[in-house]
Amino acid sequence: MDVCSRVDGAAGGTIGKGCCRTMKIRQSLAKVVLLMMLGACTGPLRANPYAAFIVHCEPRNADGGSLLRLREMVQKADEHQVKLTIDFTPPWVEMILVDTLFLGWVSDWNDAGHELGAHHHPYWVSTERGTNWDGYTNTPEEELLGDDADDYLGDMDDYLALLNQLPGTRTSGTLGLGYSGDELDWPQDLLYSATGHAYDEIVGQPELVEYDGHEVWQMNHGLFFSVPPVQIESAYQAAGSDDIFAVVTHVSNYEESVESVQAVEDFFAFLTAEDPTGESLVTVSQAMRVTIPEPATGVLFVLTCSMLAATRLRVS
């Protein structure tokens, strides 16, 4: 026996029919809300993962020649609808800000939809590995080793203030905070973090991590030149439509050889062939915005299910 039959039998006549109509309306509204939420969760049907290509601009090659090669890479990306995430270190920013031609190029990249992100070489990991520290840290100056205080340029507020002089807004960065002591260096105004080098980190989904008390959404990426191109392409094709596929390289890698330049251009062409619309070719911040779960969705889902259950209980 259906709901209306039970109500009619219990209440009878016009009252039973009116009650039945009211419950039907409530159930229908609840189902509509539920379907709308499910649609919002799943979004449009897509076959491709969200693909991000990240470029790091290292302190050691902050010069006009390398910026010119970066400009060449951006032009190739534009030709294939690929949106780059270009993570700058402070020496690159300083070089760009004092040259109107360079600043004009970077402004054009921002206008074209590329993301101008942040890259940091923290103090402690640089000390351990013998790499180039960029001069910024939240480690107290008196705790720096030996003569390292002579290279100190400021804390991470100073770091972000410098980077924010570039066009656009800094929302994501690769800060390299995996080493003990460097976790203090997260700039609290950044929203998203990217990390990783390994091949098995190329495909994944965001996770919530903590740096010195700051909760941060973080995604992984893997080195573009770590494996042959066919393996990179296979990883892309095996990824799910809700995954983030992300590879990272450096301007210095790109400019190493003609073969490196060709490999990047071929990969851009591959991405375009896989998604001719370019809708899934995104920046780091774009990828994070569309894949981070929305807490409110879960709450509304539970409330809607409760509404449906309540209307059934009243007539059982």
Q: Which of 217, 220, 236 is nearest to 289 (CA)?
A: 217
DSSP, residue by residue, 198-211: SGGGSEE--EEEEE
Exposure pattern of 80-105 as b/e (b: 16+ CB <10 Å)?
Answer: bbbbbbbbbbbbbbebbeeeeebbeb
More confident residue, 2 or 129: 129
Q: Which of 195, 202, 194 is nearest to 49 (CA)?
A: 202
- Average pLDDT of the residues in 275-304: 80
Q: Which of 9-18, 70-79, 235-244, 280-289 has the lowest mean pLDDT?
A: 9-18
Q: Indicate the pLDDT class of residue 46, thresholds 50, 70 and 90.
A: low
- pLDDT (0 to 100) of residue 47: 87
Domain with CATH 3.20.20.370 in the chain: 50-282
More confident residue, 70 or 295: 70
- CATH number for 50-282: choose from 2.40.30.10, 2.60.40.10, 3.20.20.370, 3.40.50.2300: 3.20.20.370
> pLDDT digits over 105-146, tens only?
999 999 999 999 999 999 999 999 988 999 999 999 999 999
Q: What is the mean pLDDT of the chain?
A: 87
> pLDDT digits over 223-279, tens only?
999 999 999 999 999 999 999 999 999 999 999 999 999 999 999 999 999 999 999
> pLDDT digits over 192-220, tens only?
999 999 999 999 999 999 999 999 999 99
- Taking 3-state DSSP, the helix, strand and coil percentages for the chain, each rounded to the nearest 5, stand at 55, 15, 30
- pLDDT (0 to 100) of residue 33: 42
- Average pLDDT of the residues in 72-78: 99
Q: Indicate the pLDDT class of residue 308, thresholds 50, 70 and 90.
A: very low
Q: Indicate the pLDDT class of residue 294, thresholds 50, 70 and 90.
A: confident
Tokens of 185: 């260096």
Q: Is the per-residue pLDDT at 42 higher than 50?
A: no
Q: How far apart are CA 128 and CA 123, in angstroms?
A: 9
- pLDDT (0 to 100) of residue 11: 46
